[in-house]
Amino acid sequence: MFVDGEFDMWNSATMSSAYRPGGPWNSTEEVPRMVVARGGHIPDLDLVHVNEDVVEALAVVTKRQLRIM
């Protein structure tokens, strides 16, 4: 399972990278790839400067992760 933020500065080093051979990984049931809309990297965990859209997107991804596990 791979989860990235849409605007994560490390995307080029992840399965979401456009530079990955074959392009970004296509999510499968066996190996899902999820992208948090409008999400970044660790700043999304900052509780002082909350981005409500990202909090909602993270909740959706977390629920999906728990179903898969």
Q: Where are the alpha helices (DSSP H) in 7-51?
A: none
Task: Express each pLDDT in 9-51 by its tens digit.
Answer: 898 999 999 999 999 999 998 999 988 888 887 665 566 667 7
Question: What is the C-alpha separation between 18 and 20, in angstroms, rounded?
Answer: 6
Greatest Cα pair distance in the chain: 38
Our count of domains for the chain comes to 1
Q: Of 51, 29, 33, which is closest to residue 42 (Cα–Cα)? A: 51
Q: What is the mean pLDDT of residues 41-62?
A: 74
pTM (2 d.p.): 0.65
Enclosing domain of residue 60: 2-68
